Amino acid sequence: MSIQKVMVVGAGQMGSGIAQVFAQSGYEVILNDLNQEALQKGIRFIEKVLSKDVAKGKITEKNKADALSRLSTSERIKDAGDCDLVVEAIVESMEAKMSVFKELDQIAPKHTILASNTSSLPITEIAAVTNRPEKVIGMHFMNPVPVMKLVEIIRGLATSDETYNTIAYTSKQLNKISVEVNDFPGFVSNRILLPMINEAIYTVYEGVASPEDVDTVMKLGMNHPMGPLQLADFIGLDTCLSIMEVLHEGLGDSKYRPCPLLRKYVKAGWLGKKTARGFYEYS
């Protein structure tokens, strides 16, 4: 199946990044969000990233102009009515995602693939609210999307081979490397990453070391480009907590129990970089 026109639902950092890579790869893209201010912020974010790439000599002014010319915005989900692929990139909430997929199922043409950028929620459960579970799939991009090469492609219980092959081919067209993952909580990336972050939080909670020293150990001792606590701040501590809860509930193993300190920070509104306070303070 050939993908020509794509809608990305959600104009946050992930949605904007996904829209950008599709537009740069020659696809016609609609960036959708209910919030006009979020849409404008998303477009400004894309323009800023492309301008930086021009300044660094990675792309030309024409490349930038061509990408932006393929990009339009929409506040109406019904504009998915002539799209071949819809990628949902909204808040990590099963209730919210199910609501969007139900609506998209009624609007999008029968051939349209419905993909979710969820980082941990079950694709099978999302697909079950549609009349096309064979055309529902996970397309988990990494942040920042224009930079990171990986896409986790998650097959739900009913996802067809045709749908998987189309998304694998499309990922290649985006200059990404994809991996095939079955539908288990956290998939591969977050099933490994988030318990490591949670354990790093436990070392702070138990007084083993300070956040700075924990991160230094992992950067200098394990050659990680960023320490787990700084990374948690960048991901968002609310998102980290949400994923740990999905792992704990979905796999039923106590080793996935979210650290009480993580819960306390989230309750305090210390969510990391986006609120200027997490394990570190940001100006």
Catalytic positions are 119, 140, 152, 190
Can you spell out the DSSP letters for 108-173? Answer: S-TT-EEEE--SSS-HHHHHTTSS-GGGEEEEEEPSSTTT--EEEEEE-TT--HHHHHHHHHHHHH
d(C-alpha 46, C-alpha 224), whole Å: 28
d(C-alpha 83, C-alpha 31), whole Å: 12
Q: Which helix (H) or strand (E) covers residue 185, if one does? A: none
177-182/136-141 β-pairing:
unpaired
Neighbours of 222 (CB within 10 A): 10
From the list 147, 260, 151, 149, the residue with the least C-alpha distance to 137 is: 151
